[in-house]
Chains A and B, each alone.
Chain A
Amino acid sequence: MISREEVRHIAKLARLGITGKEEEKFQRELSKILDYIEQLKKVDISNVLPTSHSISVENVVREDEIKQQDSEVKKRILEQVPDKKEGHIRVKSIL
């Protein structure tokens, strides 16, 4: 069983606001799922390499060059920004 402190810590790492009631719910649900996942401990994984990508491709590279984005697309992307100023995204001060 994971602790409520752990739930709170994870929520903060995930930048997810949660209520006190949800802390308890996540504690219960995550513990149940983690218990189920425990069965992986039975598998012998010595000398097994990890797979991060099922179909192996060689490193994919391209020229490092600046490509002009379509100005129409640029405009549409900026239209989605909730708070902007002079074509820039405005963010709360972090210092």
Chain B
Amino acid sequence: MIMELDELTISQALQKLKRKEISATELVRNFFNRIEEKDKKILSFLSLNKDSAFLKAKEVDDLIISGKTLPLLAGIPIAVKDNILVEGLRCTAASKILENYIAPYDATVIKRLRDQGAIVLGKTNLDEFAMGSSTENSGFFTTRNPYDSDRVPGGSSGGSAAAVAANFCVFALGSDTGGSIRQPASFCGVVGLKPTYGAVSRYGLISMASSLDQIGPITKNVEDAKIVFEVISGKDPLDSTSVILNPDSSNYQLQIKDLRIGVPKEYFIKGTDPGVENIIKNSIKKAETLGAKIEEISLPHTEYALSCYYIIMPSEVSANLARYDGIKYGYSKLKGQNLLDVYLENREEGFGEETRRRIMLGTYTLSAGYYEAYYLRAQKVRTLIKKDFEEAFKKVDLILTPVSPTPAFKIGEKIKDPLTMYLSDIFTIAVNLAGLPAISLPVGKVDNLPVGLQIIAQPFEENKIFGLGQILEKNI
């Protein structure tokens, strides 16, 4: 019985609540008990929100007893990546510079989830300011992969992916700038969606690289990803880059026989783990057996995506992180003789290694004399990468690739060499540069380590992803 409660999806949990088989309070207590018992080993949470969670659960229970219509996520316990603001809770972005920062307001996604009755259990670990692929860059500790505690959960949303995989919550929120939802979802064997850029409001997300960041769900199945996406997406006046979505797209029914699937040859290259490649190829075959037309395609600028990303992203990072000055909030020593000393000192002591590296890199590529050689050139290459996808989508509806060239790697394996770590994002970053939606769907295991299939769609065609995802989920 207890096992069952942990594993519930959104619709299963709602059904049990509606039938009064369990109360929201019991559901919340059950998850907290499990977290207290098992998170000592996994270390997915940075902070818990017990008092307020039980209060909210009581409100939902009263609503159930009153017999009123329940909102879409009534009583559903969730975990939130600690770079998304939840009013009244500490929000650290896993950085010492924000160690004691209390969020003064809710992010728009949190407001939307709370309006539908979701209950925030706590905040999850990440690489500092979402910069990393393993949570090893967290200013506090490294989260463990629930499948193997010697291995990383992936990153940067490693805490959220591990929390969903370890059944510490029904679903979690992550953010994805270059693969930070999909890669940890792949490593932890859960579903992770990066929505189209602009589909979900970024208001209240601690900015990393603003032209690439998107918030998205990490869930136990595709249906849940769809439910959460529909709640959190849509135009928000507080984020001028958010857009109005087509309300009819939710009813879209995918016919697999009409589906044309592209497999880009540049994503099946030397260096990918043979076990991973095998699993991905088998799932592509599965789609073909089910009736989809498979076609080899080319995305010729793929090899330049990582370089392009490692210019654009740090440039935006260096600008966004200029706000941490120790004057308005955050880590602050005011000992310095003058203002410059105060800045230098607070930012030296407050930021971790990877954050400092990216600020340096971005400042360099934006500095006088280098802007055209680096930043402007990268933006032009970005256009070419985007055009590759536009050309491909004239021929196919969806694109299938691996999420990561390997399953979860060992803690400590890549942290000493930044460039090797960056290469683990090689299959996910082009999607962010082009603003496309993509999901990681668990499709198999290599030596007990999960492997995710990436399904990429055209902008705002999340429903095609959900359609194929649900079909493959049933058949693999």
Contacts and interface: CB of A to CB of B under 8 A. Distances in A.
A66 interface: no
Given A43-B304, A48-B383, A29 B363 contact: no
A68 interface: no
A38 B378 CA distance: 11
Interface stretch (B40-48, B268-276, B328-336, B398-406): B328-336
B360 A40 contact: no
A26 B357 contact: yes
A40 B305 CA distance: 9
Contact of A54 (B104, B356, B378, B434): B434
A40 B378 contact: yes
B243 A57 contact: yes
B237 A15 contact: no
Interface in B342-386: 342-345, 347-349, 351, 356-357, 359-361, 363-364, 367, 374, 376-384, 386
B347 A17 contact: yes
A82 B304 CA distance: 44
A14 B363 contact: yes
A54 B197 contact: yes
A1 interface: no
Interface of B: 101-102, 104-105, 196-198, 211, 237, 240-241, 243, 301, 303-304, 306-308, 310-311, 318, 322, 325-330, 332, 334, 336, 338-340, 342-345, 347-349, 351, 356-357, 359-361, 363-364, 367, 374, 376-384, 386, 418-419, 422, 432-436, 459
Interface in A72-95: 73, 76-77, 79-83, 89, 91-94
Interface in A30-52: 30, 32-34, 36-37, 39-41, 43, 45, 48-52
- Secondary structure at chain A's binding surface: helix, strand, loop or mixed? loop
Contact of A45 (B243, B318, B377, B432): B377
Contact of B327 (A22, A49, A82): A82
A10 B363 contact: yes
Most buried by A among B211, B349, B364, B386: B364
B384 A48 contact: yes
Contacts of B340: 15
A92 B342 CA distance: 9
Nearest to B376: A50
What bracket does the count of chain A residues touching chain B fall in? 35 or more
B377 A39 contact: no
A29 B347 contact: no
28 contacts: A10-B367, A15-B322, A15-B325, A15-B347, A16-B344, A16-B347, A16-B348, A26-B360, A30-B361, A33-B310, A34-B364, A36-B419, A37-B307, A43-B380, A45-B380, A51-B379, A52-B379, A54-B432, A54-B434, A55-B241, A55-B459, A57-B198, A60-B240, A76-B102, A82-B334, A92-B338, A92-B339, A94-B338
B394 to A, nearest CB: 18
Listed from nearest, the 9 A-B pairs whose CB atoms lie closest are A54-B435, A17-B348, A50-B379, A17-B344, A80-B329, A76-B104, A82-B332, A60-B240, A45-B380
Contacts of B432: 54
Contact of A16 (B330, B360, B459): B360
A53 interface: yes
A34 B434 CA distance: 23
A40 B322 CA distance: 27
Nearest to A59: B240
B384 A43 contact: yes
A79 B345 CA distance: 22
B328 A89 contact: yes
B6 to A, nearest CB: 35
A43 B340 CA distance: 40
Nearest to B378: A40
B382 A50 contact: yes
A6 B364 CA distance: 9
